[in-house]
């Protein structure tokens, strides 16, 4: 090779290497990662201040004329129990899910871009995954695998039993999803999830990006083909989602109020054909008094709906329990804004509650539905 040709080839190669280096440095991080939450006086763990038996943090809506033993008619009451704070020091706790085989709870700490693990036997807390792509809602499928909503990933993923990660859905009609928020898995393996824009609206719980979907939809992923289909497209901001224990009803939260005071702030319920992937006869199940909102919910084995409450009157922060007919049975009062919850424990009678910077737990007199 002649000297001039050699120098030209070397310069071209160097330019290509430099171009690759420049391109590599322009890649965005895997989601926002907040700095550690510092506190000179961390919130104390254990039963909440003022806890006695029966726990005054439990309030029944049934007001009997005669004295009763504990809060009448409220299945959160289990006798010798009280609400406990079992972990703290996070920025925004979301998406708790219980894994019975390992007796641990996984939950998202969205701004810190991580999924945490809390062991049931000693409340030991460790990092399960970081970065988590600003994960939000989590659930478990019938095979014991973690299914996760990712804000900055703009996708639904499944963590396989060997630890590998499978992308379940990241596009619809060739366009990116908004920012999947909450997810449930039906008994036939179909995956149902909500897709508002919270995770792409700023840089604190994800990465700010323009939405590509015209609407904020609720989707179903077919268990055999993997096809993604819209099952509801008339929500302002679809949020928490759960099935009734018999899978004949699907409950979906709309937190559109966060965008505009005139928008809805309620839970809707639909008749659902799980196999066909169709919803029908939708109606409002419960209206939430503004400015409070509900964010996440779970069902117990008898069909009652337990949902989070926060962002309004601090005295209302906590959890509410409704009958399948939408009648309020009682409230669990907590000192922090609540985002989401799940049932767990060996008997599935312990309610784990994600609330702002902490995780709370309370033993109840009911059992959660067999799968969240």
**Token couple for 364:** 């109840």
pLDDT of residue 351: 98
* Helix and strand element counts for the chain (H, E): 1, 28
Whole-angstrom distance, CA of residue 201 vs CA of residue 154: 12
pLDDT of residue 9: 54
Whole-angstrom distance, CA of residue 318 vs CA of residue 83: 11
**364-367 — which CB contacts under 8 Å span 24+ positions?**
364/75, 364/76, 364/77, 364/78, 364/300, 365/75, 365/76, 365/77, 365/78, 365/79, 366/75, 366/300, 366/301, 366/302, 366/304, 367/300, 367/301, 367/343
C-alpha torsion sign, points 291, 289, 148, 179: negative
Domains and CATH numbers, the chain: 46-363 (2.120.10.30)
pLDDT of the chain along its 372 residues, tens only?
555 554 455 555 555 544 454 455 566 778 878 887 776 677 899 999 989 999 999 999 988 888 878 888 899 999 889 999 999 999 999 999 999 999 999 999 999 999 999 999 999 999 999 999 999 999 999 999 999 999 999 999 999 999 999 999 999 999 999 999 999 999 999 999 999 999 999 999 999 999 999 999 999 999 999 999 999 999 999 999 999 999 999 999 999 999 999 999 999 999 999 999 999 999 999 999 999 999 999 999 999 999 999 999 999 999 999 999 999 999 999 999 999 999 999 999 999 999 999 999 999 999 999 766
DSSP state, 314? Answer: G
Torsion of CA 351, 355, 357, 360, to 10 degrees: -20
How many other CB atoms sit within 10 Å of the CB of residue 16?
Answer: 10
* Strand pairing class (238-243; 146-150): unpaired
Whole-angstrom distance, CA of residue 229 vs CA of residue 222: 8
pLDDT of residue 17: 47
Which H/E stretch holds residue 119?
Answer: strand 114-119
Percentage helix, strand, coil, to 5, in the chain? 10, 40, 50
For 316, the 3-state DSSP assignment is helix
pLDDT of residue 14: 52
pLDDT of residue 38: 73
pLDDT of residue 91: 95
pLDDT of residue 65: 80
**How many angstroms from the chain centroid is the CA of residue 295?**
8
pLDDT of residue 6: 47
* Of 169, 164, 130, 175, residue with least CA distance to 32: 130
């Amino acid at each position: 090779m002649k000297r001039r040709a050699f120098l030209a080839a070397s310069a071209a190669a160097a330019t290509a290497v430099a171009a690759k280096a420049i391109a590599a440095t322009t890649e965005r991080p895997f989601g926002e990662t907040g700095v550690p939450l510092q506190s000179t006086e961390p919130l104390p763990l254990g039963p909440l201040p003022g806890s006695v038996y029966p726990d005054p943090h439990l309030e029944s809506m049934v007001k009997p004329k005669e004295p009763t033993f504990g809060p009448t008619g409220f299945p959160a009451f289990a006798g010798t129990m009280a609400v406990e704070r079992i972990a703290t020091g996070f920025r925004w706790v979301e998406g708790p899910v219980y894994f019975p085989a390992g007796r641990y709870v996984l939950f998202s700490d969205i701004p810190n871009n991580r999924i945490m693990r809390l062991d049931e036997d000693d409340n030991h807390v460790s990092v399960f995954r970081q970065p988590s792509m600003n994960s939000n809602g989590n659930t478990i499928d019938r095979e014991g695998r973690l299914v996760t909503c990712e804000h900055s990933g703009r996708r639904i993923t499944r963590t396989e039993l060997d630890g590998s990660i499978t992308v379940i859905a990241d596009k619809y009609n060739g366009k990116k999803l908004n920012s999947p928020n909450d997810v449930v898995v039906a008994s036939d393996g179909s995956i149902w999830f909500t897709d508002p824009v919270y995770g792409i609206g700023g840089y604190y719980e994800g990465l700010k990006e323009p939405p590509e979907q015209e609407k904020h939809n609720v989707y179903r992923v077919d268990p055999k083909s993997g096809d993604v289909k819209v099952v509801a497209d008339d929500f302002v901001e679809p949020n928490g989602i759960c099935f009734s224990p018999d899978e004949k009803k699907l409950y979906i939260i709309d937190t559109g109020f966060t965008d505009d005071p005139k928008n809805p702030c309620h839970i809707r319920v639909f008749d659902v054909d799980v196999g066909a992937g169709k919803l029908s006869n939708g109606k409002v199940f419960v209206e939430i008094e503004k400015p409070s909102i509900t964010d996440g919910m779970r069902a117990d084995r008898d069909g009652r709906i337990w949902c989070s409450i926060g962002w309004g009157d601090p005295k209302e922060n906590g959890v509410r329990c409704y009958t399948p007919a939408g009648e309020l049975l009682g409230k669990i009062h907590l000192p922090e804004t609540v985002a989401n919850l799940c049932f767990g424990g060996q008997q599935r009678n312990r309610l784990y509650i994600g609330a702002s910077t902490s995780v709370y737990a309370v033993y109840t007199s009911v059992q959660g539905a067999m799968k969240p």
